[in-house]
Amino acid sequence: MNKKFIFKIQNQCGRARSGVIETTRGTIRTPIFMPVGTYGSVKSVHPSSLKKLDAEIILGNTFHLHERPGEDFIEEFDSLHGFMRWEKPILTDSGGFQVFSLARLADINDDGVSFKSPVDGSNRFFNPEVAMGIQKKLGSDIAMAFDQCPPGDADRKTIESAMRRTTAWAARCSTYEMKPWQAKFGIFQGGIYEDLRKSHMEEIAALDFDGLAIGGLSVGEPIPDMYRILESVVHLMPHQKPRYLMGVGTPIDIVTGVLNGVDMFDCVMPSRNARNGQLFTDDGVIVISNSRHRNSHEPISHECTCETCSGGFSRGYLAHLFRTKELLYHSLATVHNLHYYLSIVRRAREAIVNGTYEQFATSFIARYENADRSIN
């Protein structure tokens, strides 16, 4: 398979844009949300259900797949696609975020990071070449550069140091030879400092990448700071390349991201919150364990066309499955939440095409935030 990675912007509405990314394994309509498949499965969801959801690209986690089952075994199936039986595009992160948030760090220097495996405590070493080498074996369609991601409360000096290192690492990643079909995205940092964000974005944008990602947001900083950064930086990112906001976020975060010109999103929120009993609707989050749902015949949402809502599964049935810890709860709930997130980006796209994105965003946020919480 040869490389195919073409990004075309089709419509713009203010700073918001819609388009397509054409890849070897299929077309991705932007703005897009990518369901997260950490360990080689989107938790509880069969690949055939993902297809029915019209998911166009999913995400795999390099850090976790390196731990278990290991990239060498996955490569025996040609790529992660063959291992997990998903034929459409996959984006893999670089493991940078997980190394700095999940692992017990032993040492970090300009070459790379030593840490302990969270699974068995043994010694691990990641650097740009290791992270890209793993992603090469995973055979993803979009590979991410290895970056240093500081926490949301890091001070300016820590952020600057992480930026310098991330730039040097990004340069090494940009020249690393991948499988023929693999595109590469760079990641910039800068915390909640606008000047740092802008300068670091320009440094990474100057390197040879197919797309550019905003890292280090939604990592503990106040939400208004995140929105301020999005407003000040996204529109300055290269116009002709996809813009990816990593690991974000709530429905309102996504609508706000698109408003500022973001094209791609991923987040564990729809799948993780489903498992914890939180179901998304335009009127806010339903907590399925609330006693008011126990005797309900209503679907999660009358407006929803997902297999769970249109299949006649009631809130009362879901509440019963959740209460009795029935495994079927997880797939019914996750399918709904992923459908909801995918419907947000589809509706956003439609509003951009129609030139009404700003109205869409305003009314979406107003309804979501002002919903009557006493009924959820």
Which backbone phi and psi does 207 adopt, to 5 degrees?
Answer: -85, 170
313 binds a second copy (CB under 8 A): yes
54 binds a second copy (CB under 8 A): no
39 binds a second copy (CB under 8 A): yes
- Shortest Å, Cβ 69 to a second copy: 4
Q: Give the binding range for a second copy (CB under 8 A) out of 41-49, 105-113, 180-188, 191-199.
A: 41-49
CB-nearer residue toward a second copy: 172 or 272: 272
- Shortest Å, Cβ 47 to a second copy: 8
Residue 291's CB is within 10 A of a number of other CB atoms, namely 7
Select from 19, 31, 40, 186 the one that contacts a second copy (CB under 8 A). 40
331 binds a second copy (CB under 8 A): yes
289 binds a second copy (CB under 8 A): no
Q: Give the binding range for a second copy (CB under 8 A) out of 140-148, 187-195, 205-213, 290-298.
A: 290-298
Distance CA(302)–CA(282), nearest Å, equals: 11
Structure tokens at 369: 């935030």
Distance CA(301)–CA(251), nearest Å, equals: 16
Q: Are 119 and 69 in contact (CB under 8 A)?
A: no
Residue 335's CB is within 10 A of a number of other CB atoms, namely 27
Q: Which strands, in side-by-side order, build the sheet including 123-126?
A: 104-108, 113-116, 123-126
Nearest to 188 by CA among 224, 133, 230, 127: 230
Which x/- pattern over 64-103 shows residues binding a second copy (rule: CB under 8 A)? ----xx---x--xx----xxxx------------------
- Shortest Å, Cβ 117 to a second copy: 14
CB-nearer residue toward a second copy: 54 or 195: 54
Select from 4, 15, 320, 346 the one that contacts a second copy (CB under 8 A). 320
CB-nearer residue toward a second copy: 103 or 345: 103
Question: Catalytic positions, please?
Answer: 93, 266
Q: Are 137 and 72 in contact (CB under 8 A)?
A: yes
CA angle (97, 100, 101) in 5-degree steps: 80
Select from 100, 146, 188, 317 the one that contacts a second copy (CB under 8 A). 317
- Shortest Å, Cβ 182 to a second copy: 22
Select from 8, 235, 294, 373 the one that contacts a second copy (CB under 8 A). 294
Q: Give the binding range for a second copy (CB under 8 A) out of 26-34, 110-118, 138-146, 292-300.
A: 292-300
Distance CA(243)–CA(238), nearest Å, equals: 8
Size of the site for a second copy (CB under 8 A): 39
Q: Are 87 and 119 in contact (CB under 8 A)?
A: no
Select from 183, 212, 213, 332 the one that contacts a second copy (CB under 8 A). 332
298 binds a second copy (CB under 8 A): no
Question: Tell me, what DSSP letter sits at residue 374?
Answer: G
Residue with tokens 């408003």: 259
CB-nearer residue toward a second copy: 47 or 261: 47
Q: Are 4 and 25 in contact (CB under 8 A)?
A: no
Q: Which strands, in side-by-side order, build the sheet including 264-266?
A: 32-34, 264-266, 243-245, 211-214, 183-188, 142-144, 90-92, 58-60
Q: Give the binding range for a second copy (CB under 8 A) out of 96-104, 169-177, 251-259, 327-335.
A: 327-335
CB-nearer residue toward a second copy: 73 or 370: 73
Structure tokens at 374: 């006493």
- For 222, counting Cβ atoms within 10 Å of its Cβ (0-12 exposed, 13-18 middle, 19+ buried), the class is exposed
323 binds a second copy (CB under 8 A): yes
Binding site for a second copy (CB under 8 A): 39-48, 68-69, 73, 76-77, 82-85, 294-295, 297, 307, 311-314, 316-317, 320-321, 323-324, 326-328, 330-332
